[in-house]
């Protein structure tokens, strides 16, 4: 196959940041995707509908002239989020979901939830008005091994949450384990996003010939058997699994340091990365539904009607793209890809 034409996809988990960083990365997303679920972990986080409206305006203002893109906003859940905030979100029409970060789990999560049970009144309201809950599904207990934090979250927090709120629609974000795949498959109202890094790389990539900070994201890359389980889920055609890049830009200097930030930058070449992953298991024909149908169906939004085309061309992922301060290193920098989006 030399050309791959798909219904235009959407990115159901994206970090755009703000200010000059937002301006630097947004064109990459807009080139490929019509819409994206925008993560609220700014400093300070997007906690209210008013915060989300202001952030949405800044995103709209940063869209390159003549292009179209719809940011789908989320609220950052804290111990102080109220049921009234949920009703306001539902009434807003542009807030599409609420994001749960366990306090301290990842980048800019200090104001996240300290105990998930504290949010039961909020979850009740979300279940009632049918707003999806997006989960960063990792425990933060320092006693729990980093590589087990997703599995333990599912057992200790997600399974009980599902029993308390059986109708609450949940997206387990950026799943990384076969345990997560099994849990999603077994529970009606749960879906999951899958990133390109977790489809293409296992944890060996973190240590190949030395420590490789640009493969460090959270949840961390896992063993090969888990990568295989994710590939199987993504290419299964099951509508519970859909595209969410978790593209999370950090400056080169904040990653190449003694205590580097978590996050992989994939917005530059996301569709080429996913095409590579799907082709590796001979499942390119399943890419369109994963990238363009399952997400809007879950969010009860119309599917896009225009198309994108990727061509079979070998090209090298650049070592760096322009970004404020010290530049931005894309996922897999220096490696070759065999699919490419039409040029800018």
Gap between the Cα atoms of 182 and 184, Å rounded: 6
Contact 338, 314 (CB under 8 A): yes
Q: How far is the CB of 77 from Zn ion (least distance, A)?
A: 14
How many residues of this chain bind Zn ion (CB under 5 A)?
Answer: 1
Site for ligand NCD in 44-73 (CB under 6 A): none
Task: Report the 10 Å Cβ neighbour count for 144.
Answer: 15
Q: Which SS3 state, helix, strand or coil, does residue 158 take?
A: helix
Q: How far is the CB of 142 from ligand NCD (least distance, A)?
A: 17
Q: Which residues on neighbouring strands pair with residue 14, listed in sequence order? A: 38, 247
- For residues 324-334, one letter each, b for 16 or more C-beta atoms within 10 angstroms of the residue's C-beta and e for the rest, the string is eeeebbbbbbe
Binding flag, residue 131, ligand NCD (CB under 6 A): no
The string of DSSP letters for 266-281 reads -GGGHHHHHHHHHHHT
CB of 125 or CB of 192, closer to Zn ion: 192
Query: Which of the choices Zn ion, ligand NCD, none does residue 175 contact, using the CB cut-off of 5 to 8 A by kind?
Result: none
Site for ligand NCD in 147-186 (CB under 6 A): none
Query: Which of the choices Zn ion, ligand NCD, none does residue 10 contact, using the CB cut-off of 5 to 8 A by kind?
Result: none
Write down the catalytic residue from 246, 297, 306, 319: 246
Gap between the Cα atoms of 244 and 269, Å rounded: 13
Query: Which of the choices Zn ion, ligand NCD, none does residue 78 contact, using the CB cut-off of 5 to 8 A by kind?
Result: none
CB of 138 or CB of 276, closer to Zn ion: 138
Place of tokens 């009860």: 300
Q: Which SS3 state, helix, strand or coil, does residue 61 take?
A: helix
Active site residue 188: no
Exposure of 230 by Cβ count < 10 A (0-12 exposed, 13-18 middle, 19+ buried)?
A: buried
CB of 41 or CB of 81, closer to ligand NCD: 41
How many residues of this chain bind ligand NCD (CB under 6 A)?
Answer: 11
Which DSSP state fits 242?
E
Binding window for Zn ion (CB under 5 A); candidates: 87-95, 152-160, 240-248, 325-333: 240-248
Extract the tokens encoding 59.
Answer: 């995103």
Task: Write the interaction track for Zn ion spanning residues 245-284; mark x where CB under 5 A is met and - where it is not.
Answer: -x--------------------------------------
Gap between the Cα atoms of 16 and 246, Å rounded: 10
Query: Which of the choices ligand NCD, Zn ion, none does residue 262 contact, using the CB cut-off of 5 to 8 A by kind?
Result: ligand NCD
CB of 136 or CB of 226, closer to ligand NCD: 136
By annotation, the residues acting in catalysis are 246
Residues engaged in binding Zn ion (CB under 5 A)? 246
């Amino acid at each position: 196959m030399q050309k791959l034409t798909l219904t235009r996809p959407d990115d159901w988990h994206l970090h755009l940041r703000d200010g000059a960083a937002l301006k630097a990365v947004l064109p990459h997303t807009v080139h490929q995707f019509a819409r994206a679920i925008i993560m609220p972990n700014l400093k300070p986080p997007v906690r209210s509908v008013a915060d989300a409206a202001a952030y949405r305006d800044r995103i709209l203002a940063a869209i390159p002239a003549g292009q179209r893109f719809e940011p789908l906003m989320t609220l950052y859940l804290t111990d102080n989020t109220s049921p009234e905030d949920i009703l306001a979100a539902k009434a807003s029409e542009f807030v599409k979901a609420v994001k749960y970060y366990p306090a301290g789990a990842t980048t800019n999560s200090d104001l996240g939830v300290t105990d998930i049970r504290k949010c039961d009144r909020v979850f009740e309201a979300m279940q009632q008005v049918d707003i999806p809950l997006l989960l960063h599904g990792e425990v933060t207990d320092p006693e729990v091994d980093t590589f087990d934090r997703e599995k333990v979250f599912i057992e200790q927090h997600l399974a009980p949450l599902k029993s308390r709120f059986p109708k609450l629609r949940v997206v387990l974000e950026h799943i990384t384990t076969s345990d997560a795949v099994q849990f999603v498959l077994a529970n009606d109202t749960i879906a999951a996003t899958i990133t390109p890094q977790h489809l293409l790389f296992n944890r060996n990539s973190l240590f190949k010939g030395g420590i490789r900070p640009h493969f460090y994201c959270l949840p961390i890359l896992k063993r090969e058997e888990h990568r295989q389980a994710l590939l199987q889920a993504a290419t299964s055609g099951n509508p519970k699994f859909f595209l969410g890049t978790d593209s999370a830009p950090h400056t080169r200097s904040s990653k190449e340091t003694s205590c580097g930030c978590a996050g992989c930058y994939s917005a530059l070449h996301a569709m080429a990365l996913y095409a590579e992953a799907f082709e590796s298991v001979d499942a390119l024909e399943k890419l369109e539904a994963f990238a363009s149908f399952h997400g809007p169906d879950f969010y009860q939004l119309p599917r896009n009607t225009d198309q994108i085309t990727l061509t079979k061309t070998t090209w090298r992922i650049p070592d760096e793209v322009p970004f404020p301060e010290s530049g931005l290193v894309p996922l897999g920098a220096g490696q070759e890809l065999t699919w490419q989006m039409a040029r800018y």
